[in-house]
Amino acid sequence: MYGLRGSFGFWPPAGSSSEAISAEPLEAARLCGHELTRLKMMPAQRATHPEAPESALSRRLRDLRQIAAALKRSGMMPLQVCQSIIGDRLLDSGTRSFFSGLPEDEKHYWIASLYALLMPKARRRKLAAYFTPPHLAHYAIDTLIEAGIKPGQHRILDPASGGAAFLVPLAARISDQARQRGARGETILRAIESSLAGVEIEPGLATLSKALLFDLLRTEIDAAGRKPNISIQRADTLKLAPPDRLYDAVIGNPPYGRIFRPSKTILNAFAPVISDGYVNLYALFLEQAIRWVKPGGVICLIVPMSFVGGPYFTALRKRILETSHVLRLDPIDKRSDVFLDVLYDVCVLVLRKKGALARTVVPKSSLLMMGQSNRDLGTLEIPDHAAGHMWALPDEEQTEGLFLSGLETLADYGYIAKTGYFVWNREQHRYRTGNKPRPTEVPLFWAHNVKANRLCKPYDGKPDSTRIGFVRIERESSAIICSDAVILQRTSNRRQARRLIAAVVRKAKLPGGRGFVTENHTIVIIPDPTKSQKVTLKMLCRLLNSAAVDMRFRRISGSVSVSTKALRQLPLPAATTVRAAFKPGVEDDHAVETAYFESLTATARKSSATAASG
């Protein structure tokens, strides 16, 4: 079933699931038709953030939902409806009005979106059917061209091509350029046939893709007296062997979602991109792209940024650097409303496969904006050799690298970070609320108990509750925290100002005297009993809540989930500079920036002194 979701090039909506696949809470852009013409991706430069037209986008989608609801009562199949719209055989004024006057690429986008809405609800939720918006497809195609790919001359594959989100604009570019040269219809069709290909697991979507392409090329079809034979193979992309003739480029928006209980076939076939048995669909599609493109060829995929620093993507990062040169990694601004309520940051990733002579390229990164110029962020920080280490996004306000000599980590400070112990969905029978613990109980801290730089209190999850949550633990357990600690929220709202939110827990202030536990949506930081602590827990908490640390963490984190492993590897200022910088009357953000500066300056002095003495 993942093939269908992948074929759309979509983002699954929150709450979608299946037996085999856990859809990550992502959602596609839902862009207002006429707004798409006005709101385009522009060349990179600095810009400000205007308010996004949320009401227009929501209204447009609401109208399409109403149209879909009415059309469902007609008894027509989704493909029949879409073919009728393409052929201007509309029966009702509402549908006619919605699609009337739209530019061709927007019309095709909304037709594909309507197809998804016309699917049975359970099937749509299971397959997470949402399409790639035209402006983003155009931007991805632009990056291919900038990398030297010439549509019409080079062979280009979309391995998840349902809805033809990339094939239609590629065909349009080939056709437009050929017309400017005075080419005839037959010549244009042959150029498209020899250049473009797709793979699609769902027969109905494969048919729709061809229908959209035929609609685009109707002038050429009339002139040539035939329809083009564009290769859209009906197959499961992940089960196909590399073609005998490799492609010059692969472009697409593959499916995202974890596969639970992956088969041995999947684990063996895609071992190079699988870490610790964790399998995500987009990693598998990226591996297929690497296999199917020729040396020197270009890969452009729209993927979640979770692989940048995620602990389960170590193998994928290593595989990318083993096989390819990273050309670009362009995050999409979460405020741009390209994605509404998305819980994962998404990017356009551009690679060139190794093996052909190519000049050295410094990987660049820009923040893709809507309705304004993109912002040049600078150089992507990646290992200089094939390794699974975290990557770091550049930051326009922080020009130096992230992983630099002279900085320290939580372990250097003398602390241990671990994920919360209690899983409510599995063990709620062990939970109760009250004012005092029983002898076999300890207080439980929820993520919502964590307020930045405030003393954490274990109140129950109900609104305005002053009752304490307790977990029954019959015997002494290593899960019980028997010391003071810092607790962090492990998930956050994508639009909130800070991703790291930390609070202190004082064991002495908790009822029962046995200690406490935290739920699995938290991370707890405790003193390492084998080491001395270089900074106090309160100082550590203030440090983690600072803008300077939060900004650096975002550079290695591609989702709202705070990875315990990423937190352990997060570069922090040297403990000596932290203690010196936190002074009465000095704001924490300023103190932390000073501590980072002094840490790097001290290292630079040592290096200079060593060089001079040598």
CATH value at residue 153:
3.40.50.150
Mean pLDDT of 241-250: 96
Same domain? 266 vs 414: no
For the chain, give the mean pLDDT.
Answer: 84
397 within a domain of the structure (yes/no): no
pLDDT at residue 19 is higher than 50: no
Query: Does the structure show a pLDDT above 50 at 54?
Result: no
188 and 266: one domain? yes
The phi and psi torsions of 365 (rounded to 5 degrees) equal -145, 135
Q: Are residues 37 and 150 in the same domain?
A: yes
* Average pLDDT estimate for 518-536: 96
Kindly state the average pLDDT of the residues 517-522. Answer: 94
- Binning pLDDT at 50, 70 and 90, where does residue 57 land? low
Tell me how many domains the chain contains.
2
**Residue 376 CB partners (closer than 8 Å, separation 6+):** 44, 45, 46, 364, 366, 396
Residues 371 and 425 in one domain: no
Evaluate if residue 597 carries a pLDDT over 90. Answer: yes
C-alpha to C-alpha distance for 9 and 202, rounded to whole angstroms: 13
Domain-embedded: residue 196: yes
pLDDT of amino acid 495:
64
pLDDT tens digit string along 537-588? Answer: 999 999 999 999 999 998 888 777 888 988 999 999 999 999 999 999 999 9
**Residue 283: closest CA among 248, 320, 311:** 320
Judge if 535 and 423 occupy the same domain: yes
In a domain, 396, yes or no: no
Is residue 115 domain-shared with residue 156, that is, in the same domain?
Answer: yes
Question: Which DSSP symbol is given to 346?
Answer: E
Using CA atoms, how far apart are residues 115 and 129, in angstroms rounded to an integer?
9
Instruction: Please enumerate in sequence order all residues whose Cβ is within 8 A of that of 322, keeping only pairs 6 or more positions apart, or say none.
Output: 386
Residue 241, pLDDT score: 95
pLDDT of residue 15: 32
Question: How far apart, in whole angstroms, are the C-alpha atoms of residue 290 and residue 375?
Answer: 29
- Three state DSSP letters for 516-573: EEEECCEEEEEECCCCCCCCCHHHHHHHHCCHHHHHHHHCCCCECCCCHHHHHHCCEC
Spell out the residues 6+ positions from residue 496 whose beta carbon is closer than 8 angstroms to its own. Answer: none
pLDDT digits (tens, 9 = 90+) for 373-412: 888 888 999 888 878 888 988 876 666 778 888 999 999 9
Identify whether 323 is part of a domain: yes
Is residue 216, in this structure, part of any structural domain at all?
A: yes
Let me know whether 371 and 426 are in one domain: no
Residue 17 has pLDDT above 70, yes or no: no
CA angle centred on 306, ends 301 and 311, rounded to 5°: 130
Range of the domain at 151: 2-10+19-346+354-379
566 with 425, same domain? yes
* pLDDT tens per residue across span 265-321: 999 999 999 999 999 999 999 999 999 999 999 999 999 888 998 889 999 999 999
Strands 258-259 and 196-200: unpaired
Pair (358, 422) in one structural domain: no
Task: Out of 187-196, 197-206, 535-544, pick the least confident.
Answer: 197-206
> What average pLDDT does the segment 6-30 reach?
34
The answer to whether 555 and 393 are in contact (CB under 8 A) is yes
Confidence of residue 466 (pLDDT cuts 50, 70, 90): confident
Tell whether 336 is covered by a domain. Answer: yes
Q: Would the pLDDT of 168 be above 90?
A: yes
Whether residue 256 is found in the same domain as residue 167:
yes
308 occurs within a structural domain:
yes
pLDDT for 320-339, tens place per residue? Answer: 999 999 999 999 876 544 44
Distance from C-alpha of 487 to C-alpha of 417, rounded to nearest angstrom? 9
Q: For residue 450, what is the domain's CATH number?
A: 3.90.220
State percent of the chain over pLDDT 70.
84
**33 part of a folded domain:** yes
Domain identity same for 337 and 482: no
Same domain, 138 and 233: yes
Evaluate whether 24 touches 5 at the Cβ level (below 8 Å): no
Residues paired with residue 367 on neighbouring β-strands, in sequence order? 375
HSE of 209, CA atoms in CB hemisphere, 13 A: 35
> Has residue 113 got a pLDDT over 90?
no
Q: In which residue are the tokens 């632009």 written?
A: 142
Query: Nearest-CA neighbor of 475 among 434, 426, 442?
Result: 442
